[in-house]
Amino acid sequence: MKGKSKSWNISKGISIYLRKDSPRFYGCLRINGKYYRKSLDTEDYEEAKSLVLDWSKIKNIEITKELSKIQPISNKLNTGYKLEDKYSLEKGRVFLTGTQALVRLPIIQRKIDQINGINTACYISGYTGSPLGGYDHALNQADKFLEENEIIFQPGINEDLAATAIHGSQQTTLVDKPKYDGVFGIWYGKGPGVDRSGDALKHGNYAGTSKYGGVLALAGDDHGAKSSTTAHQSDHAFIHFGMPILNPATVQDYLDFGVLGFAMSRYSGCWVGFKCVTDTVESAASVDISLDRFKPVLPKDDPIGDENIHIQWGFAPAASEPRLYKVRLPAAQAFARANSIDNVIFKDKKKLAIVTSGKAYLDVRQALDELGLDDDMCKKIGVSLYKVGMVWPLEPQKISDFVEGHKEILVVEEKRSIVEDQLTKILYNKKNRPLIVGKLDEIGHNLVPSEGELSPSVVALIIAKRISKLSLKIDLSNKVKEIEDFIKSVNNSPASNLFRLPSFCAGCPHNTSTKVPDDSFAFGGIGCHGMATFMPERHTYNLGQMGGEGVMWTGIAPFTETEHIFQNLGDGTYYHSGILALRSAVASGANITYKILVNDAIAMTGGQEITGKVRIDDLTWQVHAEGAKKVVVVTDYPEKYPSNVSFAPGVEVFQRDRLDEVQKNLRKIKGVTVILYDQYCATELRRRRKRGIAEEPNKKIFINPLVCEGCGDCGVESNCIAIEPLETKFGRKRQINQSACNKDFSCTKGYCPSFLTITGGVLKKKSNNSNRDQNYEEIKLPAPKIPEMTRPFNILITGIGGSGVITLGAILGTAAHLEGKGSSTLDVAGLAQRNGPVTSHLRVANTPDELHATRIASGSADLIIGCDIVVTTGIEAMSKISSDRTNMVINNHVAPTSTFASNPNLDLSAARMIKGLRDIGSNDLMHFVDATKLSTSLIGNAIGANLFLVGYAVQKGLFPISLQAIERAIELNGVSIKMNKESIYWGRLAAVDINKVKKVAYSNNEINEINENETIDSIVNDRFKFLSDYQDNKYANKYLSTIEKVIEKDKSIPNSSNALSLAVARYLFKLMSYKDEYEVARLHTGTEIKDYLNDKLEGNYKIEYSLAPPVFGGRNKDTGKYPKRNLPSFTYHIFNILKHFKFLRGTPFDIFGLSSHRRIERELIKEYEEMIFNILDRITTVNYDIAIKLASLPDQIKGYDVVKEANIDKTKALKIKYLNEFNGYHINIVNKFPIASGE
């Protein structure tokens, strides 16, 4: 090597080289546009690679810390910007989501027409569905701007009728006395809507458009089936209809392609398909809306000679096909060519030509970033990029010119091929054509996946391997290995065994309405209620297309001895098309009970009003007229129906607690029966309460943690996500998350006397207490530092659906826009908006031109705001972490997952997740704080945790947006402004002095606080005192005597811990302190519960008690439970008297103790003591661990009455198993209760 220099590219921005004058290797790093060099002091190539990679990690951490240097706050903050500017401004840039861009589009088109002297209007119709689920809302919110611009929005009953109405809008100029020169139309629907509307769309397209009309058909394609029953790609359907297809990649494309699409539709007479996928429609960006940007041109080299190009009446159907394929579609191709809808992104040396479109274009750009290939490097090594805007019919001239001279073409498309097939046909007969690879490589092996959604990392590996095969002048082997290793490490190393699945909201009617009798089953349907199919205990199976609910049973019933099923049917689906399914079931004579779930909103996609809905009494007449044999109304409050309500003949109204009884009666009736389950959607009801159009109940539910047994029956009864664990010194209890509670009150049906209904009072904000010296706005904190940006800054926000994560992303994206920065957001939610995992990708740059992809690349997050640690430790979020780059501010509070409702012992510890994050990230760049607990205490609402974390990150100098801009964006959002600003303040203060924040937030007398330094002495002393109060000192001494014997034995066992003593101390106490009537009375009147409530509430309030005393009725024949009642506040005085009779406990005068259940509880104490004494006689170091398991068995005996007895039965099987193991007999016992045994 003497006399020569040589360099090796190790990874992106990392290289080693040899100088002419030295045999030793030098390292070179390129970070944030700056170069760093140093000698590696070695002559060995492999050692040099290792040294430079280590140096890179160290240097990146140093630079990340240095990013906290002060950057002057931008003086470009646009304080005059208003949210309505997105629809009112006529030039400049605005911050728009993809959905809002589709609202802005017809406004722009109308203004362009006015400038050109054309008097037009617009008609919009369709049916909502993710990822276009928010389009209806956005249109309704912009109603003022729609009206000003002659835009009529009329949602369709369903998609095909909406398409038919759009077809009509193109005929307005054919009718006498038209008011406008033309009407341009927008149809919208998700993939299944495209499918079901095929006939209407095809008819419309074959008929054509008016001269000054035009039609865009928006197809919301769910490529990954995240919120659909099947994955969807509408391209092939549009091709079948003969409709040109535009595939926009960015929010700016929505406007640019939208205007071009209308112009193309007018010019060619075609309806134009317009693909809308998650990565675009659910993203947001700063876009240019200046009217002078939009200047479509008509082709000069290919004029249309057919005067019948536009819609007309009386045109022969047979002539429509040749007109479409020989005239209109070629005209569309000519228009695309004239307006450069397909575009060369970059090209220089012609080696590898990458052709892509839509979302796949974003994946390619991100993949190139992951490989360290910017535009200049691509051109240098011979990689070219072509973005196809109109994917069908492919315009042949420009793409032929682009690919000419290249050695290879790589076509990257998501889902099945569209462009590749056409390009192959275009080039097939050409001489010296390049090699084309895409879905398959040159030898027929799979290359670009055809299923699911593309991953940028997968695309990066494909591109790298094609570059390597062509021997282009760059070595990407190390980068390929890095990506492969990174993917493997993330996929193989889950940081948690907790996963968030979408689930019903707190107070959702479907928590109750989707239950069926134990010996029946149901079919699912389209809507939120379809999540019942995720829950094995609901016996709900099978999903079909929207509007087919129940009809599958008509094809099963003749061939089975099963006589009946239930069919869930959402009210939105019923009005959409489900009424025909019900009619079909009646015609078939099948035995089926439809449960029409009347929630008054299309809750699945955002709570839209249901078009065509009728009142509940009118609905009973409707289904009665369809031939239902029996119609029943089930509701939460039967008294809500006015006296003049007119139900159909024979209709009965039942309270929802009688649903099981109603279902059992209806399944006996031959034919079709109908239950109308009438209860508001919980989320929509919450919104209505906030807007003041629905009454806010002046009630809250609390749980007395000392009375609670932690059995989880409240979760079984209500399936409510607002019921959360409360870890106490007496074990896991339950509490109600007041921020999440929607006041459905079904949790009080849990068979437990711990529930308290509080009327009056408000949740206390600790920020108002005496520990604070002054108002938060008056406390001055150091000015936050802002990191300097030399590259786009990537922020990943993780959280739970419905907890404000998407709103947070929008606020922060708007804040960046206010400073004149480029910003984009991408919200990844789908069905996850229902308590599932949600992420928001926020990218910020100095200018909009620096941003390409909306999704953050693997290993390239600069900051993670972890609003939920479970989602943060999921594969999606973990894949974005770089150990030398990613700062993390994580909420270490673990909110329970939906599994908690059915598994009360679910491990909800954050320890494993924190370790997982530390394993993959850098401990120096991590910050953990219990933002949920602090926010709930400080401001009275857990949702403040999101901005608390933002405030923390801002104050730590980790945020590229100024505090002023964020607070201005909060003001523009206009919701809970004071609370949100206060949340940011507390987060900032926590970053400076966390102990000061804790001092304000946490009281000194929280009765449930766990003492992490508990010893055997403290545990025994604490429980001795409790038992003395429970009964008397004699009773407590009995407990102490047993524990002392165990402790003595424990000390005599070689190498033993005191684990056995701890177990017996805890669980003998648990059995001895069984909660009879005297104890429940004592605990409901003690100072502990008073302090507990006063710590959480302020103002005057009264307490009602949810109890099941036998005097109010006999046991339910199916459940064995006594009916529960809400007893008034004077019950406190009864309790106060009753508790003084505890001295009767266990005596012949104890009337409560005469029951069989109380005898069982007392017998458990004796059995446990006998078992412990037997253990002490036979315990050794060999069977010590089994002894601990035996001593801990009472931990599984939870609940009251029949719930407790069921758990006792479960524990007996486990006791036999453990005793056999303890005694050395390894006998396999058949365990009927795997959940209880934990095995």
pLDDT at 65 over 70: no
> Could you give the CA distance from residue 1105 to residue 171 in angstroms, rounded to a whole number?
66
Residue 564, Ramachandran bin (φ over 0: left; ψ between -120 and 50: alpha; else beta): beta
Residue 555: per-residue pLDDT: 96
- The string of pLDDT tens digits covering residues 445-461 is 999 999 988 888 899 99
- List CB contacts of 54: < 8 A, sequence separation 6 or more: none
Coil, strand or helix at 828: strand
Per-residue pLDDT of 407-424, as tens digits, reads 999 999 999 999 999 999
Q: What is the 3-state secondary structure (H, E, C) of 676-714?
A: EEECCCHHHHHHHHHCCCCCCCCEEEEECCCCCCCCCHH
Average pLDDT of the chain, as a whole number: 89
Counts for the chain of helices (H) and strands (E), in that order? 46, 37
Higher-pLDDT residue of 277, 611? 277
Res. 693 pLDDT band, cuts 50 70 90: confident
Beta bridge partners of 567: 523, 594
Confidence of residue 279 (pLDDT cuts 50, 70, 90): confident
Of 246-255, 782-791, 1021-1030, least confident by mean pLDDT is: 782-791
pLDDT tens profile 182-221: 999 999 999 999 999 999 999 999 999 999 999 999 999 9
**What span, in angstroms and rounded, lies between the C-alpha atoms of 425 and 399?**
12
Average pLDDT over residues 429-437: 93
Residues 719, 744 contacting (CB under 8 angstroms) = no
Q: Which residue has the higher pLDDT, 1062 or 876?
A: 1062
SS3 of 864, please?
Answer: strand
pLDDT band at 1; cut points 50, 70, 90: very low
Q: What is the largest CA-CA distance in the chain?
A: 107
d(CA 385, CA 410): 10
505-509, 709-713, 1139-1143, range with the lowest pLDDT: 505-509
What is the three-class DSSP state of 1044?
Answer: helix
Q: Is 596 exposed, middle or buried (0-12, 13-18, 19+ CB in 10 A)?
A: buried
Q: What pLDDT does residue 1233 have?
A: 42
Q: How big, in percent rounded to 5, are the helix, strand and coil portions of the chain?
A: 45, 15, 40
Section 727-754 average pLDDT? 93
**How many Å apart are CA 668 and CA 661, to the nearest integer?**
12
| pLDDT 10s digits, 921-961 | 999 999 999 999 999 989 888 889 999 999 999 999 999 99
Q: Are 98 and 281 in contact (CB under 8 A)?
A: yes
Q: Which helix (H) or strand (E) holds 417?
A: none
Domains in the chain, CATH or no CATH each? 6-66 (no CATH), 89-338 (3.40.50.970), 343-492 (3.40.50.920), 510-677 (3.40.50.970), 787-1001 (3.40.920.10), 1016-1075+1145-1239 (no CATH)
Q: What is the pLDDT of residues 1126-1160, one digit of tens each?
A: 999 999 999 999 999 999 999 999 999 999 999 99
Query: Which pLDDT value is given to residue 1005?
Result: 52
Neighbours of 140 (CB within 10 A): 14
pLDDT at 439: 97
Query: pLDDT value at position 1234?
Result: 41
pLDDT at 628: 97
Per residue in 12-30, pLDDT tens? 678 777 776 678 888 888 7
What pLDDT, on the 0 to 100 scale, is given for residue 135? 92
Find tokens 């009965």 and name the residue.
652
87-96, 116-125, 600-609, 727-736: least confident range: 600-609
627, with CB counted inside 10 A (0-12, 13-18, 19+), is middle
The β-bridge partners of 39 are: 26
Least confident segment among 300-309, 706-715, 1166-1175, 1202-1211: 300-309
Q: How confident is the model at residue 1004 (pLDDT cuts 50, 70, 90)?
A: low
User: Residue 393, preceding bond cis, omega within 30 degrees?
Assistant: yes
**pLDDT confidence of residue 303:** 73
- Which of the residue ranges 22-36, 391-405, 706-720 would you say has the lowest mean pLDDT? 22-36
Supply the pLDDT for residue 768: 57
Ranges 215-219, 360-364, 1055-1059: which has the least confidence: 1055-1059
Task: Judge whether residue 1125 has pLDDT over 80.
Answer: yes
List, for residues 366-391, the tens digit of each pLDDT value.
899 889 898 999 999 999 999 999 99
H-helix or E-strand containing 724? strand 723-728
The fraction of the chain above a pLDDT of 90, given in percent, is: 67
Q: For the residues 840-849, what does the mean pLDDT come to?
A: 91
Write the Ramachandran bin of 1055: left for phi over 0, alpha for psi from -120 to 50, otherwise beta: left
Confidence grade of residue 1236 (pLDDT, cut at 50, 70, 90) = very low
Question: Which pLDDT value is given to residue 1112?
Answer: 80
Tokens of 251: 């929010």
Q: Which residue, chain included where needed, has tokens 């001269």? A: 211
Given this model, what pLDDT does residue 71 score? 45
d(C-alpha 384, C-alpha 405), whole Å? 11
- Characterize 734-751 residue by residue with b for buried, 16 or more Cβ atoms within 10 angstroms of its Cβ, and e for exposed: bbbbbbbbbbbbbbbbbb
Q: Which residues contact 1082 (CB under 8 A, 6 or more apart)?
A: 1029, 1030, 1135, 1139, 1142
- For residue 775, give the 3-state DSSP assignment: coil
Per-residue confidence (pLDDT) for residue 928, from 0 to 100: 96
Question: 695 pLDDT band (50/70/90 cuts)?
Answer: confident
**Pair type for strands 182-190 and 151-153:** unpaired
d(CA 711, CA 1199): 5
Contacts of 1021 (CB under 8 A, 6+ apart): none
Q: Which residue has the tokens 């405030």?
A: 951
CA distance 671 to 583: 12
Region 588-598: mean pLDDT is: 95
What is the rounded distance in angstroms from the CA atom of residue 275 to the CA atom of residue 270?
A: 16
% of the chain exceeding 70 in pLDDT: 93
Label residue 900 by pLDDT band (50, 70, 90).
confident
Q: Is 90 exceeded by the pLDDT of residue 75?
A: no
